[in-house]
Amino acid sequence: MRTPIQVEATPDGRACLLSVKAQPGARKRGPAGTWNGMLKLAVTAPAEDGRANEDLVLALAEMLGLRRSSVRLVAGERSRQKRFRIEASAAVVEAKLAEILA
């Protein structure tokens, strides 16, 4: 089964790009479904001083079973729509997301 979330492989194939719709200030941290082809991810940290961004990185790393250093915010620092570079193949990330969202 293919996940409705768009995961884009990088040209070298060693990483991928994932678009995320952030939901800061939530009661609990974790996936909250999908939105327009993006993973909707709730975090408890407020959207101030980059705290929600750091919480998003940690939440993604935990969800995907990766080290924190394997996930990096590359776009959308001040927006709710963000883009992350994940040091894992697109196929691996898609499979994990499909399992999590099932």
DSSP label at 27? S
When pLDDT is cut at 50, 70 and 90, the band that residue 1 belongs to is very low
- Give the pairing type, strands 16-23 and 81-86: antiparallel
Domains of the chain with bracketed CATH: 7-101 (3.30.1200.10)
Helix intervals (H) in 22-80? 51-64
**Average pLDDT value for residue range 87-91:** 94
Can you tell me the mean pLDDT for 72-80?
96
As a whole number, mean pLDDT of residues 20-39 equals 94
N-terminal to C-terminal alpha carbon distance within the chain: 10
